[in-house]
Amino acid sequence: MNVLSIADCLVNRSEWAKSRRSSPTFVHMSASAAGQLELPPAGRVFSVLAEDPRAPLHWLAMVEHELRARIVVYSRLSPQRLGQHLPLDSIEFKWLSESMDPHALPPSLERIHHAISTRIATEGGIVWLDGVEYLIQRQGFDAFLAFTRSIADEMNGTEWTLMLPFTPLSLNGTEVAHLRREAVPFEIKLQAPLPDLEEPLEHSPTPEPIEEEAAPETIPEGPRAGALVMLSTIAQAALSPAVLSRRKAQWEEMGLEVSELGHALTLDSVARHEVYIRVEEKVRRAVECERRIQMIEMRGHSVEAVKMRFRVLQLTGLTKVEERLDEILAGEL
């Protein structure tokens, strides 16, 4: 197993902003850390086990910046959200989504396999595929394991490395063991916490206050990131593409997977509202599930709560989550 130590993560972000003008929210990594970075061996597939499978993106950003490694990312994060972690102007990326977006790639194992196979035919670098849990939920564990084995065969002899970040608690023990066997864990250690990107830069001048223009259409402001709450329903007459886009962003800030709304933006008003109502009902169920998940979490079911919460945020398997919550809570009455 390879162990990486990433130190000196707390440095002046303004320097990074100067070097990445289009991505001002990145954290600049000290050049002294370059000697500590160690790339995984080429021609193989590795897993990256983390409580939050997107936390290692900080390491990936460091690898790109310090070592100038070629990075290809296939992510469930939209370009806007991925851009908060990585410099999009310096990497290749695809958004695993059904959205009508130039960067979108349908999240099917067949399409992803074809895209990766085509890309690794030349050059070399790191292919980063997140959304492992989502792909397993969508197409089944056996299919994903076969996908991993096939990609591993194609990686052999190339200058590319495939990395699969995922949360072990989102899978059962047998599945984790099988996946670890096909993709040996590559451990990444972040020795220093990264600064809160929401905090103002220490030496940045305070911007002059400006008067905001009134928006022609308004909907309630979204909650803090990570908090699942039910927002007010939008009437069909008020659901313009701009309003739907803002509501989509609000739900994404909560961590919910609502990429299907991207396609609805191009539909007529009736069809657009139908898609919105369908997604909103899933969100309503997710909010209620989260409330009950917090209840079982406080009663000691922390591992199961983590698995349920992942499904809830993906808006998949809600019926099974609801049924399991009923069983747990009924058994404790």
Last residue of a domain, one of 157, 190, 223: 190
Q: Is residue 267 part of a domain?
A: yes
What pLDDT, on the 0 to 100 scale, is given for residue 182? 93
Total domains, the chain: 2
Query: Are both 147 and 263 inside the same structural domain?
Result: no
| 8-state DSSP, 169 | G
Task: Look at residue 242 in the predicted model and tell me its pLDDT.
Answer: 87
Cα 29 to Cα 215, 265, 311: the distances in Å are 38, 38, 34
Backbone angles phi, psi at 249, to 5 degrees: -65, -40
Q: In whole angstroms, how far apart are CA 292 and each of 102, 158, 227?
A: 39, 48, 14
Same domain? For 162 and 23 the reply is yes
Q: Let me know whether 170 and 249 are in one domain.
A: no
Q: Enter the pTM of the model.
A: 0.57
pLDDT computed for residue 190 by the predictor = 56
Let me know whether 185 and 244 are in one domain: no
> Are residues 11 and 87 part of one domain?
yes
Which spans in 254-317 are helix H? 260-264, 269-298, 302-314
Position 113 in a domain: yes
Same domain, 130 and 50: yes
The pLDDT, as a whole number, for residue 332 is 58
CB 138 within 8 A of CB 31: no
The verdict on residue 162 lying in a domain is yes
| Same domain flag for 283 and 153 | no
**In the prediction, which pLDDT does 118 show?**
95
- Asked whether residue 179 falls in the same domain as residue 251, the answer is no
Same domain? 169 vs 264: no
* Residue 126 confidence (pLDDT): 96
> Residue 159 has what pLDDT?
95
Total residues found in the chain within this entry: 333
Per-residue pLDDT of the chain (333 residues; tens, 9 = 90+): 443 333 333 233 333 333 333 333 333 334 344 456 788 999 999 999 887 767 789 899 999 988 899 999 999 888 988 998 999 999 999 999 888 889 999 999 999 999 999 999 999 999 999 989 889 888 889 999 999 999 999 999 999 999 999 888 777 888 989 999 999 999 886 544 444 433 443 444 444 443 433 334 444 333 333 478 888 888 888 898 888 988 998 898 888 988 889 888 889 989 999 999 999 999 999 999 998 898 888 888 888 888 888 889 889 889 999 999 988 888 754
d(CA 302, CA 201): 36
Range of the structural domain that residue 248 is part of: 236-331
Same domain, 133 and 253: no
> Phi first, then psi: what are they for 168, rounded to 5°?
-55, -35
| Phi, psi for residue 125 in degrees, rounded to 5 | 160, -155
Residues in contact with 266: Cβ distance below 8 Å, sequence separation at least 6, in sequence order? 100, 241
C-alpha 21/C-alpha 28 separation (Å) is: 12
Residues 150 and 25 in one domain: yes
Is 64 domain-assigned? yes
Do 179 and 241 lie in one domain? The reply is: no
Is 229 inside a domain boundary?
no
Whether residue 309 is contained in a domain is answered as yes
220 within some domain: no
Three-class SS state of 33: helix
Q: Which of 80, 73, 119 is nearest to 96 (CA)?
A: 73
Q: Is residue 317 a part of any domain in this protein?
A: yes
Give the pLDDT confidence score for residue 300 in this predicted structure.
85
Residue 302 region by backbone torsions, left for phi larger than 0, else alpha for psi between -120 and 50, else beta: alpha
CATH of residue 119's domain is 3.40.50.300
